[in-house]
Structure 1
Amino acid sequence: MTAVGSSILTALNAGSGIDTSALVSSLVSATREPKQAAITGRQSLNSSRISALASATSSLNTFANALTEVLSGAAYTGAASSNDASIASVTLLSGGSPSGLPAQLTVEQLASARVYSSAATSGATGSTVIGTGSFTLTNAAGEATTITLDSTNNTFAGLASAINAANTGVTARVVTDTQGTRLVFKGETGAANDFTISANADDSGSILGGMSFTSTSNAQNAKITLDGVAYEYASNTVDDAIPYLRIDLNKASPGTNVTLSMSQPTAGLSDLLKEFVSAYNTLMGALNTATATGADSSSAGVLNGVSGVRDMKRQLSAITSTQLASTGTYKTLADIGVSTNRDGTLKLDTVRLAAVMEADPEAITNMVNPKVATDGNPGLSKLMSTVRDNIEKEDGPLKTAQKQYDTLAKEFTKQLEDLDEKMANYEDHLTKVYAAMETRLSALKATQSYLEQQIEVWNNSGSN
């Protein structure tokens, strides 16, 4: 106020004309500054809260998304293995975890398909005419399919196309080599997919009339022994002998035991839990700083007292006691050595974790990272995603706080615009007032000057 008062005195400049422009500017500033400072102070705090809430939300999303991405990797899901993949190899199937492993497998016989080949016709090609008539395919159940040959399809290629189009499970192809051209027919693997083929010619002088077929492969089932129990399958790919495990039979080897097993990602999960605790503590530490209570408002955290952030911390702090699995000895993070400190950060008991990992690695893997997450067995990734979604739901405290501060930001902008308008009007009003005052003062000064002159005249006249 001293500076403003000094400016006003200078503007009045006793004994000379008044600088009304400077005077008005000083008076407007004296009125505007405290009001503008109050609004911008609240606006700055509100902007800091908006920024801090956005940062907290972004950090939470990054944390949950990164956890989901990491846990989807093979390093944290376990791996199925065979000690002799040349005989049988294994692959995990989606939907759950294999049970009953390790298991002993013997491949007694591979599944195969019936294959017929015609005699090679020297000098022929796929477009060579083979005559008219018909082909008959008869499957193992005695069902016959007849393929008729006429002028539209009576070539090697035409017959192969007609058989393939019949969709009987038998495929045909034309093969040409140094010996000539022949037809090769192949069925599906398995004894039940066996078939026979015969040719019936209309004109005995054609190739068709003299065509004969030789079987080069029999249709038979795969035969395996799994933990001493014999099984037969029509295919060399077995999906239902062990739940959620595909077994590919690659070679028959009677008398050779192949061990099928499941390795658990013990080391990987231990490292992951350590990283999870570290990342979680970084997030919680930032929230603690933002919500810290200080001796006064200047030392308090920018989000101190914000209910949405308190709710976020409350939900995050409940993670260690929330069930990740509905059955078994280990159901929560607390059961395997993760506890919550008083400030909401986490602590990992590595000795406890190592002990439970050694005791039942499969149970820990299924608890932390189940093959299929369910409400009863969500695993760590689904749990974090659920917590994140609950924290960020539209009608929740966090979203409500964000909307409140966004509304306040618009209000503060409007208040500053209104202040600008009011001060512009105030400046116009003062300018008019002091302009009128200056006019009156000028008139008074002129009158004063006239009177002074008259008095001086009177005094001079009196002295004479």
Structure 2
Amino acid sequence: MAISSAGIGSGLEVEDIITKLVALEKKPLEGLEKKAETIGTKISTYSNIKSLMSTMEDAASKLALDSGWNTLAVKSSNDKAVSVSVTGIASATSFSVGVQQLAKAQSTVSTSIAAGASIGSGTLTLELGAWNAGVFTAGTAAAVSVTVGASDTLAQVAAKINDSGSGVVATVLSDASGERLMLRSKETGAVSGFRITAANDTSDTGLSRLAFDLAAPTQGMAANAYQVGQDAKATVNGIAVTSSKNQLTGTIPGLTISLNEVTAVDADAMITSTVDKAAMTKNIQEFVDAYNAINTLLAESTKYDDATKTRGDLQGDGTAVGLRNSMRSVLTGGSEGSVFKTLSDIGISLGRDGNLTVNGSKLSTSLDDLDNVKKLFIQRDESGASTGIAAKMKAYVGNALSFDGLINSKTDALARESDRNLEQQDKINKRAEVSEARLRKTYTALDVKMGSLQALANYMDQQVAQWNKKD
């Protein structure tokens, strides 16, 4: 392979010349790279704006829905006996609850059987229903049959019962005398009791030991200790109520009352539910904080500091400026349906910097009139259009964040601008590569030519020197 070093033949600083000419060809890259950095910064800033607006949408949603204003603080004077929780739309109220009886599942146990011994073959039929004075009334669920093999142990019988989906749970208890089969209804309540009949395959009546029928109280498991299923019995403000579970759901709208133990006579638990002002204040503060975060970012990004001659990342960006102004206009709008017309009426003021400030004392007093505070944030007009501040903010931010909304449209435009910038950089780099190749070819040819001429000149000098010696 030939070794080439441009400039040797001509004596010119060819590499320096080519480097400077190529650098001149790439000079436009400086502006493009600087612009690319600016575009990248804008994309990053809009990504932050999008994240903060998503937080704003979540905060506005809490105040734009009825459910966001139904937060109650509930308590019981005797949590050990009666506890309560909010599980729906509830109202502030108070009432007493007395517990006379807890709901229980039916349970029973068999006589002892030698460990590992077979119980007898045949079929056990399990039915769910209610017992009343020794009479069984079957429920709506179909009876379930369990086939017991001649070699099946008590543990295997229990497994078959549990796999049958009969609504009866089986457990084997081991003690010094052997093994016992314990049965319990899966659910509490009088209607979740069970009856078990045994059909033996042979004259061996061992399987009958697992039957349960109160009509034959001396046979099978009915002859042993048992607990029939029973409903919970309670009184609410003296009115008797029953439940198949140890919970009252629907008795008081929006509240679930858990019955934990029987109360003494004249010792009912007092239940009170009041508006949770702390939760309401927290939701409003989150709304304020979310707005301030966006406003601060937009303000910093679009400002120009005349003292330091520095500009924000989005200074002069019409989209960012318009976004800040639009969000502020949503806040300054009022609600015609409330005695509170503006945020300042409830203690939330708009500062010169565009941020919101909460007067805690004034807001707390305003929340005593919860309905009107709620209307300020959630009110809608007769056409269903949002006039409440939170409802309008949620709608505006939701539209801005939608697939073809303001934010995505802007970030898509910046992404396209970035792509065009990179394409221009690629074109300049490729053009510089072609130019460098052309320059090297030209200077190599020149170098060769200059080298040839230099060799000829040297030859002529030698000849002239020889001629002069002869003289």
* Identity level (%): 21
Instruction: Find the aligned partners of 1:252 and 1:362 in 2 and give their Cα distance.
Output: 42
1:401-412 matches, within 5 Å, as 401-412=410-421
Matched with 1:345 is 355
User: 2:46 touches 2:407 (CA, 8 Å); kept in 1?
Assistant: no
Aligned with residue 115 of structure 1, among 107, 121, 128: 107
Is 1:142 matched up with 2:142? Answer: no
Helix, strand or coil: the match of 1:89? Answer: strand
Pair 412,200 (structure 1): closer, same or farther in 2 beyond 3 Å: closer
Helix, strand or coil: the match of 2:103? Answer: coil
Matched with 2:271 is 260
Deviation of 1:108 after TM superposition, in Å, equals: 2.1
Pair 168,366 (structure 1): closer, same or farther in 2 beyond 3 Å: farther
Deviations 1:246-281 (A, max 9, x none): 222111214322123346553465466456545643
1:176-255 matches, within 5 Å, as 176-187=174-185, 188-199=187-198, 202-203=202-203, 206=206, 208=208, 211-214=220-223, 216-253=226-263, 254-255=265-266
Deviation of 1:221 after TM superposition, in Å, equals: 1.6
Q: Which amino acid aligns with 2:51?
A: N
Instruction: Find the aligned partners of 2:94 and 2:414 in 1 and give their Cα distance.
Output: 59
User: 1:106 touches 1:225 (CA, 8 Å); kept in 2?
Assistant: yes
Matched with 1:11 is none
1:25-44 matches, within 5 Å, as 36=28, 40-41=30-31, 44=34
Instruction: Find the aligned partners of 2:296 and 2:196 in 1 and give their Cα distance.
Output: 77
Matched with 2:315 is 304
Helix, strand or coil: the match of 2:242? Answer: strand
- Structure 2 unpaired stretches of 5+: 1-9, 63-67, 131-135, 210-218, 379-383, 458-471
Matched with 2:119 is 129
Aligned with residue 168 of structure 2, among 167, 170, 182: 170
Q: Which amino acid aligns with 1:58?
A: N
Deviation of 1:353 after TM superposition, in Å, equals: 1.1
Pair 413,354 (structure 1): closer, same or farther in 2 beyond 3 Å: same
User: 1:105 touches 1:258 (CA, 8 Å); kept in 2?
Assistant: yes
Instruction: Find the aligned partners of 1:125 and 1:378 in 2 and give their Cα distance.
Output: 73
Matched with 1:54 is 44
Aligned with residue 404 of structure 2, among 395, 403, 417: 395
Deviation of 1:232 after TM superposition, in Å, equals: 1.2
Instruction: Find the aligned partners of 1:173 and 1:239 in 2 and give their Cα distance.
Output: 31
Deviations 1:56-111 (A, max 9, x none): 43244046449859999x9x965543221211222333xx4323533322212212
Helix, strand or coil: the match of 2:93? Answer: coil
User: 2:146 touches 2:161 (CA, 8 Å); kept in 1?
Assistant: no
Is 1:90 matched up with 2:100? Answer: no
Q: Which amino acid aligns with 1:92?
A: V
Pair 428,413 (structure 1): closer, same or farther in 2 beyond 3 Å: same
User: 2:102 touches 2:261 (CA, 8 Å); kept in 1?
Assistant: yes
Matched with 2:465 is none
Is 1:283 matched up with 2:294? Answer: yes
Pair 350,69 (structure 1): closer, same or farther in 2 beyond 3 Å: closer
Instruction: Find the aligned partners of 1:200 and 1:421 in 2 and give their Cα distance.
Output: 92
User: 2:118 touches 2:150 (CA, 8 Å); kept in 1?
Assistant: no
Q: Which amino acid aligns with 1:225?
A: T
Pair 260,153 (structure 1): closer, same or farther in 2 beyond 3 Å: farther
1:268-279 matches, within 5 Å, as 269-270=280-281, 273-274=284-285, 277=288
Helix, strand or coil: the match of 1:390? Answer: helix
1:394-433 matches, within 5 Å, as 394-416=403-425, 418=427, 425=435, 428=439
User: 2:81 touches 2:261 (CA, 8 Å); kept in 1?
Assistant: yes
Pair 22,42 (structure 1): closer, same or farther in 2 beyond 3 Å: closer
Helix, strand or coil: the match of 2:364? Answer: helix
Deviation of 1:55 after TM superposition, in Å, equals: 1.9
User: 1:311 touches 1:397 (CA, 8 Å); kept in 2?
Assistant: no
Deviations 1:172-213 (A, max 9, x none): 333232344333333342223334445565536747376452
> How many correspondences in the alignment?
407
User: 1:320 touches 1:339 (CA, 8 Å); kept in 2?
Assistant: no
Matched with 1:104 is 96
Instruction: Find the aligned partners of 2:144 and 2:411 in 1 and give their Cα distance.
Output: 74
Q: Which amino acid aligns with 2:179?
A: T
Deviations 1:280-305 (A, max 9, x none): 43432332232236779x65544233
User: 1:264 touches 1:365 (CA, 8 Å); kept in 2?
Assistant: no
Relative to the length of structure 2, the TM-score reads 0.65
Relative to the length of structure 1, the TM-score reads 0.66
User: 1:284 touches 1:345 (CA, 8 Å); kept in 2?
Assistant: yes
Q: Which amino acid aligns with 2:208?
A: L
Deviation of 1:234 after TM superposition, in Å, equals: 1.2
Helix, strand or coil: the match of 2:229? Answer: coil
Deviation of 1:233 after TM superposition, in Å, equals: 1.1
Instruction: Find the aligned partners of 2:205 and 2:198 in 1 and give their Cα distance.
Output: 14
Helix, strand or coil: the match of 1:242? Answer: coil
Pair 126,337 (structure 1): closer, same or farther in 2 beyond 3 Å: farther
Q: Which amino acid aligns with 2:222?
A: F
Instruction: Find the aligned partners of 1:23 and 1:178 in 2 and give their Cα distance.
Output: 102
Helix, strand or coil: the match of 1:189? Answer: coil
Instruction: Find the aligned partners of 1:62 and 1:196 in 2 and give their Cα distance.
Output: 62
Instruction: Find the aligned partners of 1:62 and 1:309 in 2 and give their Cα distance.
Output: 13
User: 1:50 touches 1:402 (CA, 8 Å); kept in 2?
Assistant: no
Deviation of 1:241 after TM superposition, in Å, equals: 1.9
Q: Which amino acid aligns with 1:320?
A: L
Pair 157,48 (structure 1): closer, same or farther in 2 beyond 3 Å: same
Instruction: Find the aligned partners of 2:19 and 2:171 in 1 and give their Cα distance.
Output: 100
Is 1:320 matched up with 2:314? Answer: no
Deviations 1:389-445 (A, max 9, x none): 43344434444443444444444445455556667749949x78xx79x99xx9xxx
Q: Which amino acid aligns with 2:115?
A: T
Instruction: Find the aligned partners of 1:89 and 1:366 in 2 and give their Cα distance.
Output: 34
